[in-house]
Structure 1
Amino acid sequence: MMRAIRATAMAALCCTVAGAGIVACAEVARTQSQPASATTAREAHGDPFTGTKKIRAAGHSVNVSCSGRPADGRPLVVLMAGGGDGLDTMADLQKTLGKKDRVCSYDRLGEGASDRPDGLQTPASSGRVLTAVLDRIAGDGPVVLAGHSLGGLIAARYAPDHQDRVKGLVLLDATIPALTGDISRVIPESATGLAAELRAQTLAVNKGENPEKFVITDAKVRSAGNIPVEIVKHDKQYDSVPGYGPALERMWSDGQRRWRALSRHSRLSTAAGSGHYIHVDRPDIAIKAIQHVTSQSSTHHR
């Protein structure tokens, strides 16, 4: 029972980093003989491969999966998994979305089949890898980033500096903007039991003790322009944390509301009946949110 409680309560806070028996926080070269039309298509839409392959990105081998075909006027959808998760956790979502749009996902450094990071990662260093991946798979075309948990936070930090490329965002229970400060405030150092363990593991993960060695720092939410943004939060997650459940839920909800500063065209909703893994618990809601933003960003981009 205690293990189940830990798994449920810690997933969202600690970006779903697995370890220690519990869920802690939970190419083929192109030839010059190709016709000019093919080159132009690649520049516009990126490499049109289907399936999974490793590409070179910012000096690293990065595992990427793509489905579907580019559609005129519609952006590439890029799915970004949570911390401790590989692109395989987005496979079902990608398969469904790929019936209508071009959809890709990738393993960040330290996850899945991609290279391990050389050292601690930050939003800036992770962003350089993401840029290199997008250069390859999207060319100069527009993209919609749809991220879960840590993937959502990385997408939200990336978009403001890449408004020429990112035309829409979907945040699925994204890690909140000031998690370190918020968890330290809600669960005091004097706490004991599960709450104390949750606090300690969250702070450790935020310092880089996770597979990606990603340092999760508190920061103000910056505008990504007037792009469509869908923010979807879990329904219930922390009711199993004795004495602190309600406060943790308020903390998480407040953090999700802060993400609305990303755009004047942002919307926050709750995935009824869902825990932290919204795209698993309520794939219908995740799919609807991503397709809505993709359609909206298509209109916005024209």
Structure 2
Amino acid sequence: MLGKHKACVVAALCSTVIGAGVTGCGADSLENWDPLAPATRTADAGAISGTEKIDVEGRSVNVSCSGEPAKGEPVIMLMHGGGDALDKLAALQKTLSEQHRVCSYDRLGAGASAQPEGPQDFAGAGRILTGVLDRVAGDRPVVLAGHSLGGLLAARYAPDHKERVKGLVLMDATSPTMADDITKAIPESATGPAAELRAQNLAMFQGQNPEKLVIADGKVRSAGDIPVEVIQHGKPYLAAVPKYGKRLEQAWAAGQRKWLALSSGSKLSTAANSGHYIYLDQPEVAVKAIDRVAAQAARQSQDQ
């Protein structure tokens, strides 16, 4: 039984913790997250319908788009968690595309996109995201909706791209201080499954993951007054870790609250019947949150 619990929690944490950040990023990376967008934005040239591979900085990036754009409405960009790919978001994208223009993409090292040339950092991941947004959104406003690692990337990206990112939905996003959280929750003196979990996650922070992302903690920076909805899991799956499960759950909840500093318009809610994959366990919660943020972002954009 213990082995089964351990396997489930390790798998979940692999996704949640990888959500923490991107490779080789120290404080300097956070400050230099792709501050300049490319000059050319080409969303109006051959809009993508379905799945297509595009070139971004000489790398092949797998992109999927669906739904018809409405005037003044933001483009929704879905961002998958660590160890996942855009196909896992397919059902959510299909539902959202009934009312919105929705896109998703595989990050380098994930799904059908090219492998990264080497370790990735926040700046590099940001440039790839910018290139994708240039192609699928052009000058239109964007709402980023990210799960786990995707949520952390979205939250790190938004403060430096206020002219473009007009709303955020973070679905059980990795804590901005995940490395510190896990080292405090599971001490170096731990033994057994908890010790293994600690070691595995710290290795992932150092880049031993499919995307070669080196995870670094950082402060939450403000993205202004954009609408932000932070959704945390309600089922305490981390509690399955022997001895230290309660600490992990408390650290995770604290990490979700830290994301509220993103905006004066941030809100925190709990998906009561969901584990880490909120958009799969309670898709209606994710859809309603994205609908609300998109509507508010559209109103704010029209008022400016």
Structure 1 position 197, deviation (Å): 1.1
The secondary structure found in structure 2 opposite 1:147 is: strand
Give, in whole Å, the separation in 2 of the partners of 1:278 and 1:200.
26
Residue in 1 that maps onto 2:215: 216
1:124-135 to structure 2, matched below 5 A, reads 124-135=123-134
Residue in 2 that maps onto 1:199: 198
Residue in 2 that maps onto 1:165: 164
Structure 1 pair 45/155, CA: closer, same or farther in 2 (3 Å)? Answer: farther
Structure 1 position 13, deviation (Å): 3.3
C-alpha contact 1:107 1:113 (8 A) present in aligned 2: yes
Structure 1 pair 88/49, CA: closer, same or farther in 2 (3 Å)? Answer: same
Residue in 1 that maps onto 2:153: 154
Residue in 2 that maps onto 1:36: none
Query: What TM-score results when the alignment is normalised by the length of structure 1?
Result: 0.89
* Root mean square deviation of aligned Cα: 1.6
Higher relative CO (CA 8 A, sep ≥ 6), structure 1 or 2? 2
Where structure 1 has 5 or more consecutive residues not aligned to the other structure, the ranges are 19-41
Structure 1 position 298, deviation (Å): 0.6
Query: What TM-score results when the alignment is normalised by the length of structure 2?
Result: 0.88
Give, in whole Å, the separation in 2 of the partners of 1:73 and 1:46.
18
Structure 1 position 9, deviation (Å): 2.0
**Identity percentage of aligned residues:** 61
Residue in 1 that maps onto 2:25: none
Give, in whole Å, the separation in 1 of the partners of 2:45 and 2:300.
21
Deviations 1:67-111 (A, max 9, x none): 101111110000000001010000000000000000000000000
1:1-302 to structure 2, matched below 5 A, reads 1-15=1-15, 47-235=46-234, 236-302=236-302
- Structure 1 window deviating more from structure 2 (218-227 vs 4-13): it is 4-13
Give, in whole Å, the separation in 1 of the partners of 2:282 and 2:4.
20
Give, in whole Å, the separation in 1 of the partners of 2:243 and 2:45.
51
The secondary structure found in structure 2 opposite 1:111 is: coil
Structure 1 position 239, deviation (Å): 1.6
Residue in 1 that maps onto 2:33: none
| Amino acid paired to 1:181 | D
Give, in whole Å, the separation in 1 of the partners of 2:105 and 2:140.
18
Structure 1 pair 45/297, CA: closer, same or farther in 2 (3 Å)? Answer: farther
| Amino acid paired to 2:242 | P
Where structure 2 has 5 or more consecutive residues not aligned to the other structure, the ranges are 19-40
Residue in 2 that maps onto 1:21: none
Deviations 1:120-164 (A, max 9, x none): 111111000000000000011110000000000000000000000
C-alpha contact 1:13 1:175 (8 A) present in aligned 2: no
Give, in whole Å, the separation in 1 of the partners of 2:69 and 2:44.
7
| Amino acid paired to 1:168 | G
Give, in whole Å, the separation in 2 of the partners of 1:46 and 1:176.
37
Give, in whole Å, the separation in 1 of the partners of 2:7 and 2:81.
15
C-alpha contact 1:152 1:173 (8 A) present in aligned 2: yes
Deviations 1:8-67 (A, max 9, x none): 32345332599xxxxxxxxxxxxxxxxxxxxxxx85656422100100012110000001
Give, in whole Å, the separation in 2 of the partners of 1:45 and 1:285.
31
